Amino acid sequence: EAQVTQNPRYLITVTGKKLTVTCSQNMNHEYMSWYRQDPGLGLRQIYYSMNVEVTDKGDVPEGYKVSRKEKRNFPLILESPSPNQTSLYFCASSLSWAGHFGDGTRLSIL
């Protein structure tokens, strides 16, 4: 079954404590992206990757890092999380244009 898997699904943590949200896809897609979803703002892209070792900033990259060492994985790293990064995060992968999304990771930064 085609899947984009995010972990953890929920996390409550404190300001400044580094965290990583993992994303893995089993469809051999080249494109992968991270989005955050906030009430009234919709889905906004954080970072994307067009292939292994190729990443680029989206619309709201500040405070985030990503890596793409292998095709299937695209982790999102928050080196020093802050409360304004409390949000619902989605990872997506795609072969052409329409993305397959994971089920989301809800982060709460206290």
Residues forming contacts to other proteins in the complex (CB under 8 A) are 4, 30-33, 35, 40-45, 48-50, 56, 58, 90, 92-104
Phi, psi of 85 (to 5 degrees): -95, 5
Beta carbon of residue 104, minimum distance to other proteins (angstroms, whole number) = 5
DSSP H or E run through 11: strand 10-13
Q: How far apart are CA 34 and CA 99, in angstroms?
A: 11
Return the SS3 of 83: helix
| Degrees to nearest 5, angle at CA 53 with 59 and 71 | 95
Beta carbon of residue 80, minimum distance to other proteins (angstroms, whole number) = 25
Beta carbon of residue 36, minimum distance to other proteins (angstroms, whole number) = 11
Which residue lies nearer to other proteins by CB, 49 or 85? Answer: 49
